[in-house]
A = this chain, B = another copy of it.
Amino acid sequence: MCLAAIALVAAQAQEVSSPDGNVSVKFSLSPSGQPTYEMTYKGKQIIKPSHLGFQLARDKHASKGMDETDLLNGFTLAGSRTSTFDEAWQPVWGQYKDIRNHYNEMEVSLRQPATDRNIIIRFRVYDDGMGLRYEFPLQSALNYFIIKEECTQFAMPGDIRAWWQAGDYDTQEYPIQETHLSGIRPAITHCVAFDDKGKCHRRTDYIEDRMRDAVVWDNASQTIFSPTGVQTSIQLVTDDNLYINLPEAACVDYATMHLNLDERTMTFTSWLTPDATGYKGCMQAPCKTPWRTVLVSDDARDMLASSLILNLNEPCAIEDVSWIHPTKYCGVWWEMIVGRGAWNYTDEFPSVKLGQTDYTKAKPNGRHKANTEEVKKYIDFAAKNGLDQVLIEGWNIGWEDWACMWKNDVFDFVTPYPDFDLKGLNDYAHSRGVKLMMHHETSSSVINYERHMEQAYQLMNDYGYDAVKSGYVGDIIPRGDYHYSQSMNNHYLYAVKEAAKHHIMVNAHEASRPTGLCRTWPNLVGNESARGTEYEAFYGSKPSHTVTLPFTRLQGGPMDFTPGIFETQLNTWSDNQHNVHSTLTGQLALYLVMWSPLQMAADLPENYAKYDDAFQFIRDVACDWDDSRYIDASPGKYITVARKAKGTDNWFVGGKCDEDGHEVTVKLDFLDKGRKYECTIYADAKDAHYETNPKAYVITHKVVKAGDTLKLTEAPGGGFAISLLAK
């Protein structure tokens, strides 16, 4: 029946292809007037015929266009228009100096005669994929509406292999799984079960493997909604090695999208994050949705090299970007993560209240690390090693009972603990050419954060901070909202825009996974929005994790992954019994593989002191690039990339692999011809192994030139880093 229907309308289909002709998107209306699209790559079907549309909610204010009639079918084609666009633009920071935005566009105007409503579906087709979005023009019959669900389908070409993370409204910090699509349900239901109301519970018979399982039940805030729900971006590969990726782009004032799989047809359908009432979006025409995108290539490297997501975002909205800069930093952080220090100043009170608890009279717990003496050590370390900034977590009052207590007024973002000399430390840092980096943990009490935001940013201006790491641990206040609800996406962007007014760069942790908004707001220099290094100190991540994230999480923008842990065996210097699942040089590789304009040297100064020869790479490596060349890549297995440092002729190469090790030959064909380069190779020693011998490395110095070849061997869970400094 379904095939017949598709065949019937084929004659009326609208079609648009990529500039190189490899990617084609066909749009048609089913006999019932249901918008439908399909997509091919080099003639092969990538997205099978898939429907588009919306279920709308009947609101209690049903007047003025708030009607329950869905936008699913009954459409007629009112017109279509194709056009071509080609321009080059320069990002403020990123993988490339210049980015080409070259696509063919098809604008399909649809009319639902029974309701007198009009929508537009816009397709942009690139050589490496396509984006589609819905647009709702100004009109009297569709003015305000509430989305019950977006119904955008992605019908997969079969039960293909996927790297995916369990769908969740509140966390994206799960391990990434590799299964066929049919393996999603077993993996999720291995850990959790759903009750009659669709609410998710941890299975009573489940003995968790926190590092390996799809769903862990430990995050401060988590809301799994379906046994076949996954997050975007999901990386896929067909049996004939076509790589497919499903990210979203330009999510503004709209809920974050998940995908829910129907295994009978291997079709993903969009599943938006609801608000506290269960509905998924309040819209006012004229408006548009984020882009729903499909990356495709027969070369896995193209998944990493693509700028499609950035291209689908709006140009930079900030006129003067001179204050936005790449930043290398260290900080008072890892010591607390591993458990050797504390964010809070005192253990004296069962609970504390802003403005009531007198910290000056409180008994210090002796474990508070954000103290003047300790911070000075980090400032000295940063100054000595050319790091730009020092992050200090736990500097401000409120950490005694900050998380998951449904407290509104957790932090004021301006009052330091008695042992943190706010002015003195900033003065000291500045005198040494270093800036302090602000930390705003909001505890997800968003109302409280917005009330204090202006004063908090003003304090940063007053003392000379120009970057903030913000955090959203725990359940959202206003209660009932989720981390990825429309209102929260609205908030995260509000915080970035307000920061821009103060010339402040933002690195928001636990915020929604980015969708390329850093093109428009380049002061959004980082996000966490995935399982970062901290989990190594909790339960661990598999070595494959860092060669999977660039295919998934990094599609939308850089991640503050906090690499650079040299003392990977944590029990050698703390009571933490976990190991970081990487060799030491594998950690160095992350500065290339996990590109970001914001890079932390996350380990302790005393640990770096033990391996100062290897630390030279962190001193040298850039974090902003004129060019990037992916040398080889396979999702979850290995990634090798060479990058040219911004404004220089220096190149850096990094390679990282999973637990199986990897060999790669790097042809230095990207170097300037006729020029010589001082080459330093930081490689795993022969017997290195992420579990048994992680700190065995060899540093080799040589002089190289364009056309030379380097053979690198990465140990299991290992990697390498190379600096190529133009002589």
Q: Which residues of A contact B (CB under 8 A)?
A: 59-61, 64, 66, 138-140, 143-144, 146, 253, 275-277, 279, 282, 284-285, 349-351, 353, 401, 404-408, 447, 450-451, 454, 475, 478-481, 487, 490, 494
CB of A222, distance to nearest CB on chain B (Å): 9
Residue among A61, A279, A494 with most chain B CB within 10 A:
A61
Q: Assess the A144–B351 pair: CB atoms within 8 A.
A: yes
By a CB distance below 8 angstroms, the chain B residues around A454 are 454
By a CB distance below 8 angstroms, the chain B residues around A146 are 406
- Complexed CA–CA distance, A487 and B406 (Å): 12
Identify the closest chain B residue to A408 (Cβ). Answer: B490
Q: Assess the A479–B277 pair: CB atoms within 8 A.
A: yes
Question: Which single member of B277, B282, B450, B475 contacts A451 (CB below 8 Å)?
Answer: B450
Identify the closest chain B residue to A476 (Cβ). Answer: B478
Q: Assess the B404–A61 pair: CB atoms within 8 A.
A: yes
CB of A237, distance to nearest CB on chain B (Å): 37
By a CB distance below 8 angstroms, the chain B residues around A66 are 405
Chain A interface secondary structure, helix, strand, loop or mixed? loop
Q: Assess the B277–A351 pair: CB atoms within 8 A.
A: no
Q: Assess the B353–A284 pair: CB atoms within 8 A.
A: yes
- Complexed CA–CA distance, A287 and B285 (Å): 45
Residue among A60, A144, A284, A479 with most chain B CB within 10 A:
A479
- Complexed CA–CA distance, A284 and B451 (Å): 20
By a CB distance below 8 angstroms, the chain B residues around A407 are 144, 282, 284
Question: Which single member of B59, B143, B275, B487 contacts A351 (CB below 8 Å)?
Answer: B143
Q: Assess the B490–A277 pair: CB atoms within 8 A.
A: no
CB of A351, distance to nearest CB on chain B (Å): 5
Identify the closest chain B residue to A275 (Cβ). Answer: B479
Question: Which single member of B253, B276, B285, B447 contacts A450 (CB below 8 Å)?
Answer: B447
Using known A-B contacts A350-B143, A353-B284, A406-B144, determine if residue A479 contacts B276 with beta carbons closer than 8 Å: yes
Residue among A60, A284, A285 with most chain B CB within 10 A:
A284
Q: Assess the B478–A276 pair: CB atoms within 8 A.
A: yes
Q: Can you list 29 contacts pairing A with B, beta carbon distance less than 8 Å?
A: A59-B406, A60-B475, A64-B401, A66-B405, A138-B349, A138-B351, A143-B350, A143-B351, A144-B351, A144-B401, A144-B405, A144-B406, A144-B407, A275-B479, A275-B480, A276-B277, A276-B478, A276-B479, A282-B408, A284-B353, A284-B407, A285-B351, A408-B487, A408-B490, A447-B450, A447-B487, A451-B494, A478-B478, A479-B487
Known: A66-B405, A447-B450. 20 other contacts (CB 8 A): A60-B475, A64-B401, A64-B405, A139-B350, A140-B350, A143-B401, A144-B401, A144-B405, A146-B406, A253-B408, A275-B478, A275-B479, A276-B277, A276-B481, A408-B487, A408-B490, A450-B451, A451-B494, A479-B487, A480-B480
By a CB distance below 8 angstroms, the chain B residues around A481 are 276, 478
By a CB distance below 8 angstroms, the chain B residues around A275 are 478-480
By a CB distance below 8 angstroms, the chain B residues around A351 are 138, 143-144, 284-285
Residue among A66, A285, A480 with most chain B CB within 10 A:
A480
Q: Assess the B61–A405 pair: CB atoms within 8 A.
A: yes
- Complexed CA–CA distance, A522 and B490 (Å): 35
**Among all A-B residue pairs, the 4 with the closest Cβ atoms:** A276-B480, A276-B276, A478-B478, A282-B406
By a CB distance below 8 angstroms, the chain B residues around A487 are 408, 447, 478-479
Identify the closest chain B residue to A141 (Cβ). Answer: B350
By a CB distance below 8 angstroms, the chain B residues around A284 are 351, 353, 405, 407
CB of A100, distance to nearest CB on chain B (Å): 30
Residue among A408, A478, A490 with most chain B CB within 10 A:
A478
- Complexed CA–CA distance, A353 and B144 (Å): 12
- Complexed CA–CA distance, A276 and B478 (Å): 8
- Complexed CA–CA distance, A406 and B56 (Å): 14
By a CB distance below 8 angstroms, the chain B residues around A276 are 276-277, 478-481
Question: Which single member of B143, B282, B349, B404 contacts A479 (CB below 8 Å)?
Answer: B282
Identify the closest chain B residue to A59 (Cβ). Answer: B406
Identify the closest chain B residue to A66 (Cβ). Answer: B405
- Complexed CA–CA distance, A479 and B485 (Å): 11
- Complexed CA–CA distance, A303 and B630 (Å): 81
